[in-house]
Amino acid sequence: MKDWAMKAPAERDTTTINDAIYAGVRRFLAPLRRAPWWLKVTLLYVAARLVSTAILLGAAWHAEESPWGGRQPDYLTFIDRWDAGWYERIFDGGYPTTIPRNDDGTAQPNQWAFYPLFPLLARALSGLTGLGWPAAGAIVATAAGLAAALMIYKLFRNFATPRTALWGVAFFAMFPVSPVLQVPYAESLGIFLLAAALHLLIKGRYWAASPTVLLLSLSRPAGVPFAAVVLVHLLLRWSHRKREPFPARELAGGSVLLFVSVVSAFVWMLIAWWLTGERSAYTDTETAWRGTGLVLFKPWFDAGVELAGPLWGPVLPVLLVVLAALYLNSRAVRRIGLELRIWCAMYLLYLLAVLHPQSSTFRMLLPLFPLALAAAFISTSRAYRWSVLVMFTLLQIVWVVWLWQFAAISTGQAWPP
């Protein structure tokens, strides 16, 4: 009481107003505290997508003419860019029966680099509603993003309290590249299927995981690292079978899942081979954008040399691996569970082996979403967690304005998101 009396009148008034606002917000949000988890996740996801929509609309307002439309395009035109255009070709006419090639025999960019499940779902929605590609693709992507958020919450609840799991979902939904969850890309669908497959694996529901993994491998190229996760998971269960029983039925289901995972890792390559008659149809197409053949790990060392020169350049990928290993062994990351840590490690190794580092690399990091839960584990402080969301929002603006905008560079190309 004495401290209150010593405050200046203006300061007392400000304190009273702040307390009233805080109390009002708490009363307004009180019903949400008792709401079911799926409603909380849905509202969180919708709020995140509204923020991203505002950012995309702001960027569209300042957009110049591009290969996809004129100045200041509308929302659906603006998000129908880059890879969305390739999915639109699949939506309209499927895949070519032969690989288009240059005079020197190298493959030209074509639809075989893009997996079929997402455009097929958009095609199905179009058949039911009569919607064209831009709307159908955006709806499927956004709905799949919501399904991913719900599934990620269920996955995170294996390791965290409801509150921390919800914060992990919030970090995922507001991640700097999260606008891709609502544009006609396959990322949101792939994340949903990946989260579902990881959840089923952790729960030991191997029979249900098998078709999920097959669908995952027809949506995004994640089959190879996932098969590695399944193998490590089963080896650990087998080695611990004396302490934790590994019944014959579960062993059989796990063996089937491992077989399906390995086959699924190569299923799209096999389909491309079968339908084109060319054994290297998929790999030739994938490397068409980089202009060179596939040599494992080499592109990262080449990028290091370009950034830091021939002396220190080769050290950069090694330093990246060391930093990643240290982080994956940190206290916060260890709390997300062994399977999720193995997934992150295997996926990073996969990217290091096959990815040509370029502007799309940021988007390729989205399957590392389990690290969003690790970020929530770092601190329970509201100041820390809200600061992360603010930082992610600002970085969303950077990502959209920098990469989603079309700007031709000196080589005559552009930076794709």
Q: What is the pLDDT of residues 338-356, one digit of tens each?
A: 999 999 999 999 999 999 8
Alpha carbons 357 and 304: distance in angstroms, whole number: 10
In a domain, 73, yes or no: yes
In a domain, 351, yes or no: no
Q: Which domain holds residue 87?
A: 38-293+380-404
Tell me the two tokens of residue 83.
């890879």
* Across 296-305, average pLDDT: 92
Predicted local confidence at residue 4, as pLDDT: 45
Asked if the model's pLDDT at residue 11 lies above 50, the reply is: yes
Helices H / strands E in the chain, number of each: 20, 0
pLDDT tens-digit map of 78-129: 999 999 999 999 999 999 999 999 988 899 999 999 999 999 999 999 999 9
Reported as a pLDDT band with limits 50, 70 and 90, residue 1 is very low
197 within 8 A of 212, measured Cβ to Cβ: yes
Mean residue pLDDT of the chain comes to 92
Predicted local confidence at residue 85, as pLDDT: 95
In a domain, 24, yes or no: no
In a domain, 354, yes or no: no
Predicted local confidence at residue 13, as pLDDT: 58
Asked if the model's pLDDT at residue 24 lies above 90, the reply is: no
* Across 395-406, average pLDDT: 92
Q: Where are the alpha helices (DSSP H) in 277-337?
A: 281-286, 298-312, 315-328, 331-334
Alpha carbons 86 and 112: distance in angstroms, whole number: 9
Asked if the model's pLDDT at residue 26 lies above 50, the reply is: yes
Alpha carbons 94 and 412: distance in angstroms, whole number: 28
Overall domain count for the chain: 1
Tell me the two tokens of residue 313.
């350049």
Q: What is the largest CA-CA distance in the chain?
A: 87
In a domain, 211, yes or no: yes
In a domain, 179, yes or no: yes
Reported as a pLDDT band with limits 50, 70 and 90, residue 29 is low
In a domain, 193, yes or no: yes
**Count of positions (residues) in the chain:** 417
pTM here?
0.92
Alpha carbons 102 and 108: distance in angstroms, whole number: 6
